[in-house]
Structure 1
């Protein structure tokens, strides 16, 4: 094993924006002292929306205050409400269920595919009823959901398709970017995402002109952007910050390089970990269609022991979603009685994620891989 790093390798980079410090300070000053004194939903926000739409070939991109808010706005724009059901993954982040409940609808939890760890289209189809208003497919870790199957299912059954692509910017499946498969998709810009920023923010992505117009209205208290203080719908305060819009425009030019570095790290991990399958640790394959370099996650029955081993050797890992959503106290009352989600339950017990961000050094990446491999060597020797 290589020599240990001088300091602990954190899971979240503490200096992700260090190289951009001077640019950020300049942007804050420029926006703060600008003649128009426009701090939200100004020309910088509009330019960012246009740039992102052009990048992925979308009909429209609408900036808002967070990825969660983007999901809230989409549900509202689709008029999802009391009496409706939305099929959601049983494994993933809380907003997948919380936003549906906040809309007054009921989340219906579908089990996940045991390999992709994303919602299983067959499991979702079995849960569709006359009350089903939408399917909510979410990408997970570094693998896109089976969006061709979900697109076909939604079209066949006559329901809306929402693509929670919050963490999947940079992913492509069959040549189509993440966020472009559903009636609406979304990205999150929270710090650790692939296009993260030092603040909260997100966008809604859609080719539906009417849906985009409704989302624009809903993000600003139901106003249409032309007539101030005329509220056409009950809306939200989900506006985008001009400082962050300018910062994201500045950083957009380097996004592909950062994505490439993330992908390079993922590929190295996968090459190193491929032989570990026979030792009880399953890693994602190297590359492949529908992959994106957000979080690198492995599966092992010895998760807690691996986590402790990594920590003892100066590597901070992270366990996402240690409970399936139907087992969360907030969402259990909405789960069907006697329901079972074995793949989601298995993933909740077995997933652990390793550090992955573009400013990891080659030496740090090699050390992390060495530490994981050393753990499996030790565990094999004790069995």
Structure 2
């Protein structure tokens, strides 16, 4: 049995639907391939699902973060507090608008940013805080919301990995002044390409994001550019494909959660051997990635390979240690939990079309690892 971490067959059951969609939109008289009626219908479907005032589809989750920060007026001289552990766009989106990322350490078990670290990083120059949901755990958004309100800063919720997750009954993406999603292939609502969305209840923020995603045009007069914008327009083929896939999202998420529950139950006794599963439960969980913390991470990865189980390391270095962002790290500052996460985290397959037998095989392979000290 060989089980890749990144499955090549995510859309095999929908290949005919995708081909039909490409043909139908490609041969339609309007010849509209971006920001057309299918994109508008997709945005409306997400608005209704989330109970949001506005949803703007765009080119990627990374673009969504950049568009939000730009629409908020974040720029040179401003600071944005971001997690020290996570995906590069957390910092690069801040740099892209001319602002400075300020890194806050994460929780040693959940790997989401610690609220007290965020508060300690807030200064007179802070324009926004940008917590991110991580792997299978949502950030502490009630506390983040309270922090943002107390310090009068904007709250951007990076929910790129968490679509479908809920915390205290509130969907991921709905806690901040704006939230973002990513539709890249491997996400919980991934598509056959790139894509993202911004979610907000702020009408002015929504209006500005719509302009910024389309070269600063407001949609009324073409070639009238009100602001300096970007080319981050959503694809009509993918919008139609996502509308087709949206009704099945809840079922796919349930399957991911079932797999995660099984893994966590099987792996709970491994803590004494230096292998720790994420916290159990369903509230505040998203199950995009199921990531273990292992003292002998590289040995575990090699062991799984011999058993035909693919695994993946997210992220091998904290953001402040990356060459692109090192200049934003203050001298003498350390992020010990982010550094520990980079050395210990290992993600397992959790895609929803895994069979029960395959899930059991993966769990057996992990449980067979001897563990112990380095």
TM-score over 0.5 for the pair:
yes
Q: Secondary structure at the match of 2:359?
A: helix
Alpha-carbon distance, 1:18 to partner: 0.3
Name the TM-score, length of structure 2 as normaliser: 0.99
- 1:199 is matched with 193
- One of 267, 271, 293 as aligned partner of 2:265: 271
Is residue 135 of structure 2 the alignment partner of residue 135 of structure 1? no
Alpha-carbon distance, 1:149 to partner: 0.4
Between the aligned partners of 1:293 and 1:147, the Cα distance in structure 2 is 17
**Partner deviation per Cα, 1:334-369 (whole Å, 9 max, x = no partner):** 111111101101111110000110111111110000
The answer for unaligned runs of 5 or more in structure 2 is none
Alpha-carbon distance, 1:49 to partner: 0.3
Q: Secondary structure at the match of 2:121?
A: coil
- One of 85, 92, 109 as aligned partner of 1:115: 109
- 1:222 is matched with 216
Q: CA RMSD in A?
A: 1.0
Between the aligned partners of 1:289 and 1:322, the Cα distance in structure 2 is 28
Between the aligned partners of 2:82 and 2:253, the Cα distance in structure 1 is 28
Between the aligned partners of 1:357 and 1:52, the Cα distance in structure 2 is 22
Alpha-carbon distance, 1:379 to partner: 3.3
- 2:177 is matched with 183
Q: Decide whether the 8 Å contact of 1:66 with 1:188 is kept in 2.
A: yes
Alpha-carbon distance, 1:35 to partner: 1.2
- The within-5 A match list for 1:143-154 is 143-154=137-148
- One of 47, 54, 65 as aligned partner of 2:59: 65
Is residue 319 of structure 2 the alignment partner of residue 325 of structure 1? yes
- 1:170 is matched with 164
Between the aligned partners of 2:311 and 2:175, the Cα distance in structure 1 is 32
- 1:231 is matched with 225
- 2:357 is matched with 363
- One of 21, 36, 44 as aligned partner of 2:15: 21
Between the aligned partners of 2:282 and 2:337, the Cα distance in structure 1 is 22
Alpha-carbon distance, 1:286 to partner: 2.9
Between the aligned partners of 2:57 and 2:288, the Cα distance in structure 1 is 21
Between the aligned partners of 2:331 and 2:307, the Cα distance in structure 1 is 44
Alpha-carbon distance, 1:127 to partner: 1.2
Between the aligned partners of 1:33 and 1:77, the Cα distance in structure 2 is 35
Alpha-carbon distance, 1:253 to partner: 1.0
Q: Secondary structure at the match of 1:126?
A: helix
- 2:301 is matched with 307
Between the aligned partners of 1:295 and 1:268, the Cα distance in structure 2 is 14
Alpha-carbon distance, 1:313 to partner: 1.1
Q: Secondary structure at the match of 1:116?
A: coil
- One of 362, 368, 379 as aligned partner of 2:371: 379
Name the TM-score, length of structure 1 as normaliser: 0.96
Between the aligned partners of 1:331 and 1:301, the Cα distance in structure 2 is 27
- One of 219, 226, 238 as aligned partner of 1:244: 238
Alpha-carbon distance, 1:24 to partner: 0.5
Q: Decide whether the 8 Å contact of 2:184 with 2:191 is kept in 1.
A: yes
**Partner deviation per Cα, 1:123-182 (whole Å, 9 max, x = no partner):** 111111111000011000000000000000000000000000001001100100000000
Between the aligned partners of 2:88 and 2:78, the Cα distance in structure 1 is 19
Between the aligned partners of 1:346 and 1:355, the Cα distance in structure 2 is 22
Q: Decide whether the 8 Å contact of 2:275 with 2:371 is kept in 1.
A: no
Alpha-carbon distance, 1:279 to partner: 1.6
Aligned length: 374
Between the aligned partners of 2:13 and 2:88, the Cα distance in structure 1 is 33
Q: Decide whether the 8 Å contact of 1:326 with 1:335 is kept in 2.
A: yes
- 1:212 is matched with 206
- One of 75, 78, 100 as aligned partner of 1:81: 75
